[in-house]
Amino acid sequence: MGTRPRAPQSGPVARRLELLGELVRRDVRARYHGSVLGIGWTLLNPLVFMLVYAVVFGDIIGVKGPSGKSYAVFILSGLLAWTFFSQALVMAASSIINNAGVVRKVAFPWMLLTVSSVIAALVNFLISLLLLVPFLILAKAPVGWPLLAVPGLVLVTFGLSLGLGLMLAAGSVYFRDLQYIINLATMIWFYLTPVIWPLTHYQGFFNHGKVGLIAHVIVYANPMTWIVVSFQDVFVFNRWPQHWHGLVYAGVLAVALIWLGIRVFRRLRRRFAEEI
Amino acid sequence: MEPTILVEGLSKRFRIYHQRSETLKEVLVDRRRSRYEEFWAVNDISLEIKGGETFGIIGANGSGKSTLLKCIAGILVPDRGKVSVKGRMASLLEVGAGFHPDYSGRENIYLNGAILGLPRRYINTVIDEIVGFAELEQFIDNPVRNYSSGMYTRLGFSIAIHMDPDVLLIDEVLAVGDESFQRRCMDHIETMRREGRTLLFVSHAADTVRKLCDRCLWIEHGSQRQAGQTDAVVDGYIGEVNRRELEALQSSASELGGSQPGWMGVRLSSVAFTGGDGEVNSVATGGELRVKIAYDSPSALRGARFRVSFYPAGQAVLLSVQTDDGKLGDRLLPAEGTVTLSVPRVPFLDGVYGTKVEIEDIASGRSYVEIDRPQSFRVQGAGRHEVGIALVGHHWDVPALDPSTVQV
């Protein structure tokens, strides 16, 4: 064999980005492979949920959306953001365990497996945003400059789910049930987030003594409350997010969670290859 | 010069869980912490491997070789000590890890390459070589889930080999693939050696280590047993393995008991092996071996034939002898007795041999009873210059020099 030019040595950052690109490609594709509808599921899923919620909560239970606004657009705008968050958590939680084969055999920045699963959820979310278009047109709801807030909202949501996701991913290696717990937890969390009804709808419940007080604290401490409410501001009311203090809180929490997530992950990764 | 691979006082502890609490129920109901025992899989190992050196690690299965390799590869984090490796490292213990079953072979090359740290543009330049080496030209665009295990491994191997590493870690995986692929792998490894790459080679196959490695480490129960020039270390290792086998044979001598009663209630009650100097289950090449076969039967035996077959452990029968030479013929044998087979000059070379003992009815050819002992005795041939299974008498004719023609 002649002397071939040596393979270029990419820097640590370039190497990670390249790997992340491949992993995201894989994760996004894996989701749709082998299904007839393919990417259509990303649209169909929230659509069906939205219709079910609109009928069950709107028509049967009699929940009222904001007056004079489309209930469909209202539910959809919060639901898409929520789905992004919950899906990212669920996918992140299994991101390491599902790659046991490679973690057991190859030393590389395993954290990228988790990051890539959250990015894959982000890609799904961006596609699912398309679903809003026909409903906005149908409802003749105008959207304008406040759309510029969306990237910021997405960034904060991404940070929240990445931070939590890193902890869940690493924790699941030692404690498998975490995957199932997270499914249950996101279901409960969903009702503590004002997706189906406006934030003001909780008010009566909050006045119900001790339980109401606890619920009040939880709903307000829930960073997704402020994300979802802000999405509703942009798409339903065509206005800039009103609860900016809530958003700042969510942003700070996101940074803190990422910091904590990285620390926890780094701590736990030492025994990954043995425990997985 | 600073070593390429430096391992200092490396120790790795594993946990063995007795009953692992992995599920919520166990954690909640069974409040005790999961119970585990710890053991040191690798204990205080130090190594210095220079650039361009081929280094071997040998030891029995479970001695900690692979754990040590995984610590060097950075997959496992040692509990004590440290590891440092200079340059790009690839390991052949990760063959096919990270393949995505729905991806085609080609897409997996890029994915796997990225996991191993290769930029896409570099893979573009070597992808044909990778595919060619794996002999997968026709299938490279099919999803790997349709690959046979051989194709799968060849592809993984080919990717790892083309990573252009400065340091290559090789686990016992060279046993994969067909003969021709194995040979090409060995050729490639040889080329890398010549190019001055550093190779770290883990194996329990002494021959391969002897062939490839400059220096060698023998580890046992996670600790260093011997280190240094390959020949000395491998000799020590082989000697130890032989000694162990012999001990095991001798300690199990009493257990080489009999069989269950067979047809007509005939039973082999014991089979014993003795060497010329009275050693149990051991004989030197060229020495005398006695096989004492004790049998019993409900009544006297008529027209029975005894057969003894020898074979090297795990291989085909080398020699089979039987009492059907007319001496026993139709003779009536007592209901209980001992038949002794003597082999005056054992032709076998060093190794462990299995023995099969049968008694059958000459007239019908039907077997009364048989015993098969895959490890029955050891032949001590170490130190002899012949290689193989059996010693065959031979003679050399070598030209002699006529002193008168010598020019000084």
Here the ipTM equals 0.81
Which of A15, A21, A274 is the closest to B14 by Cβ? A274
Q: Touching check for B110 and chain A: CB below 8 Å?
A: yes
pLDDT of B79 reads: 92
Q: Touching check for A105 and chain B: CB below 8 Å?
A: yes
Average pLDDT over residues B156-177: 78
- Which pLDDT band, with edges at 50, 70 and 90, does A267 fall under? very high
- Which pLDDT band, with edges at 50, 70 and 90, does B250 fall under? low
Q: Do B100 and A22 touch (CB under 8 A)?
A: no
C-alpha to C-alpha distance for B298 and B117, rounded to whole angstroms: 74
User: Residue B269 belongs to what H/E stretch?
Assistant: strand B267-275
pLDDT at residue B200 tops 70: yes
Which of A21, A105, A271 is the closest to B97 by Cβ? A105
Which of A108, A176, A271 is the closest to B117 by Cβ? A108
C-alpha to C-alpha distance for A129 and A147, rounded to whole angstroms: 12
Average pLDDT over residues A129-145: 89
Proportion of chain B above pLDDT 70, given as a percent: 87
- Which pLDDT band, with edges at 50, 70 and 90, does B217 fall under? very high
Q: Give the global pTM.
A: 0.77
C-alpha to C-alpha distance for A239 and A234, rounded to whole angstroms: 5
Q: Do A106 and B114 touch (CB under 8 A)?
A: no
Lowest mean pLDDT among B103-107, B194-198, B224-228, B389-393: B389-393
Q: Do B97 and A104 touch (CB under 8 A)?
A: yes
Q: Do B76 and A273 touch (CB under 8 A)?
A: yes
pLDDT at residue A60 tops 60: yes
pLDDT at residue B28 tops 80: no
Which residues in A lie closer than 8 A to residue B117 (C-beta atoms)?
Answer: 10, 15, 19, 108
Most confident of A5-9, A226-230, B333-337: A226-230
| In chain B, residues 184-203 whose CB comes closer than 8 Å to chain A | 191, 195
pLDDT at residue B225 tops 70: yes
- Which pLDDT band, with edges at 50, 70 and 90, does A158 fall under? very high
Lowest mean pLDDT among A191-195, B282-286, B321-325: B321-325
C-alpha to C-alpha distance for A75 and A100, rounded to whole angstroms: 38
Q: Do A26 and B103 touch (CB under 8 A)?
A: yes
Q: What is the DSSP letter of B196?
A: T
Q: Do B98 and A270 touch (CB under 8 A)?
A: no
| In chain A, residues 110-169 whose CB comes closer than 8 Å to chain B | none
pLDDT of B164 reads: 82
pLDDT of B83 reads: 93
CB B11 within 8 A of CB B42: yes
- Which pLDDT band, with edges at 50, 70 and 90, does B329 fall under? low
pLDDT at residue A1 tops 50: no
Average pLDDT over residues B295-316: 85
What residue of B is the nearest CA neighbor of A266? B77
pLDDT of A76 reads: 93
Mutate to test the interface with B, among A16, A26, A104 (most CBs of B within 10 A): A26
- Which pLDDT band, with edges at 50, 70 and 90, does B313 fall under? confident
Phi, psi torsion values for B130, nearest 5 degrees: -60, -50
pLDDT of B254 reads: 47
By CB neighbour count within 10 A (0-12 exposed, 13-18 middle, 19+ buried), where does B344 fall? exposed
Digit-coded pLDDT (tens) for B330-352: 678 888 888 899 998 888 888 88
Lowest mean pLDDT among A67-81, A184-198, B252-266: B252-266
How far away is chain A from the Cα of B79, in angstroms, using its nearest Cα? Answer: 10
pLDDT mean across residues, chain A: 89
What residue of B is the nearest CA neighbor of A268? B77
Digit-coded pLDDT (tens) for B386-408: 777 788 888 888 888 877 776 65
pLDDT at residue A235 tops 90: yes
- Which pLDDT band, with edges at 50, 70 and 90, does B271 fall under? confident
For the four alpha carbons of B227, B231, B234 and B238, in that order, the dihedral sign comes to negative
pLDDT of B9 reads: 93
Digit-coded pLDDT (tens) for A11-27: 778 888 988 998 998 88
Digit-coded pLDDT (tens) for B168-179: 888 876 656 677
Which of B70, B103, B119 is the closest to A273 by Cβ? B70
Please enumerate, as own/partner, the contacts of B240-247 that have beta carbons within 8 Å and a separation of 24 or more. B241/B60, B242/B350, B242/B378, B242/B382, B245/B352, B245/B375, B245/B378, B246/B281, B246/B282, B246/B378, B246/B380
pLDDT mean across residues, chain B: 82
Which of A1, A18, A175 is the closest to B114 by Cβ? A18
C-alpha to C-alpha distance for A155 and A84, rounded to whole angstroms: 12
Average pLDDT over residues B313-331: 75
Q: Is B265 left (phi over 0), alpha (psi -120 to 50) or beta?
A: left
Q: Do A176 and B23 touch (CB under 8 A)?
A: yes
pLDDT of A2 reads: 44
Q: Which residue do the tokens 């063959």 mark?
A: B95
How far away is chain B from the Cα of A16, in angstroms, using its nearest Cα? Answer: 8
Average pLDDT over residues B316-328: 77
pLDDT at residue B32 tops 60: no
pLDDT of B177 reads: 64
Q: Do A99 and B98 touch (CB under 8 A)?
A: yes
pLDDT of B273 reads: 86
Q: Touching check for B102 and chain A: CB below 8 Å?
A: yes
Q: Touching check for A8 and chain B: CB below 8 Å?
A: yes
Mutate to test the interface with A, among B80, B83, B115 (most CBs of A within 10 A): B115
Which residues in A lie closer than 8 A to residue B118 (C-beta atoms)?
Answer: 7
Average pLDDT over residues A65-91: 92
Which residues in A lie closer than 8 A to residue B110 (C-beta atoms)?
Answer: 22
Task: Report the largest interatomic distance among the alpha carbons of chain B, rounded to a whole angstrom.
Answer: 98
pLDDT of B19 reads: 62
Q: Do A274 and B76 touch (CB under 8 A)?
A: yes
CB within 8 Å of B101: residues ≥ 6 apart: B143, B144, B145
Lowest mean pLDDT among A239-253, B58-72, B270-284: B270-284
Q: Do B77 and A10 touch (CB under 8 A)?
A: no
Q: Is A12 left (phi over 0), alpha (psi -120 to 50) or beta?
A: alpha
Q: Touching check for B76 and chain A: CB below 8 Å?
A: yes
pLDDT at residue A184 tops 90: yes
Cα-atom radius of gyration of chain B, to the nearest Å? 29
- Ordered by where they begin, the domains of chain B are 54-75+88-244 (3.40.50.300), 254-380 (2.70.50.60)
